[in-house]
Every structure is written in structure tokens, then in C-alpha cells.
């Protein structure tokens, strides 16, 4: 991993989950769309969609990667589906 060489550089990018279909530990299906940073705090955030309701959510990356009750909060179960309609 590259070392920081300037005080003005941002912290190293953490491990990111790949876009795709995930199962929540309670059973719901969610599509991870992207990982980005909060403009003010620089906190890493995950943007994802609830597949059953079509709603969009943002969650801190640290929470996305957590283990809950001994299992991953979100477990990858498939690749990101091909987009079938225009954005």
C-alpha cells in the first residue's frame, strides 16, 4: 500500500465491497451501487438500494462491513445486475 507523502493528501482508501447483490443478515436483498465520501467529514459511505421497495439508502462503510450476531451484516450473493433501463 502506498504511503502518504504529503499532509494535504486524504487518508488511504479503505477496503471497499464490490457492487452487487447482497443479503442483509435479517434476510432482505439490497443492491450495493457505489462507495463514496461525505463532502464535509470525509467519512466513507455506501449507497445501496432496497430491492423489495426500490428505496435508496446511505450507510457508513464501517457499518456495512460489520459482523452482527456472528454473520456479516451484508453478504454478497451475486454480481451487480446489468442495467436494463436508462438512468
Asked whether residue 84 is assigned to any structural domain, the reply reads no
Average of per-residue pLDDT across 16-41: 97
Q: Who wins on pLDDT, 77 or 11? A: 77
pLDDT tier for residue 59 given thresholds of 50, 70 and 90: very high
Question: Does residue 17 contact residue 64 with C-beta atoms inside 8 Å?
Answer: yes
The total of other beta-carbon atoms located within 10 Å of residue 66's CB is: 13
Average of per-residue pLDDT across 12-29: 92
Number of domains in the chain: 1
Average of per-residue pLDDT across 30-46: 97
Asked whether residue 9 is assigned to any structural domain, the reply reads no
Q: How crowded is the C-beta side of 78, counted as CA atoms within 13 Å?
A: 8
Asked whether residue 2 is assigned to any structural domain, the reply reads no
- Stated length of the chain: 87
Is the pLDDT at 22 greater than 90? The verdict is yes
pLDDT of residue 82: 56
**pTM summary value:** 0.75
CATH of the domain at 29: 2.30.30.320
Amino acid at each position: 500500500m502506498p504511503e502518504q507523502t504529503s499532509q494535504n493528501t486524504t487518508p488511504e482508501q479503505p477496503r471497499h465491497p464490490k457492487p452487487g447483490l447482497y443479503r442483509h443478515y435479517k434476510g432482505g436483498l439490497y443492491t450495493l451501487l457505489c462507495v463514496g465520501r461525505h463532502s464535509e467529514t470525509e467519512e466513507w459511505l455506501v449507497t445501496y438500494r432496497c430491492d423489495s421497495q426500490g428505496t435508496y439508502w446511505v450507510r457508513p462503510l464501517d457499518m456495512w462491513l460489520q459482523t452482527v450476531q456472528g454473520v456479516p451484516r451484508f453478504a454478497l450473493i451475486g454480481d451487480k445486475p446489468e442495467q436494463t433501463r436508462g438512468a
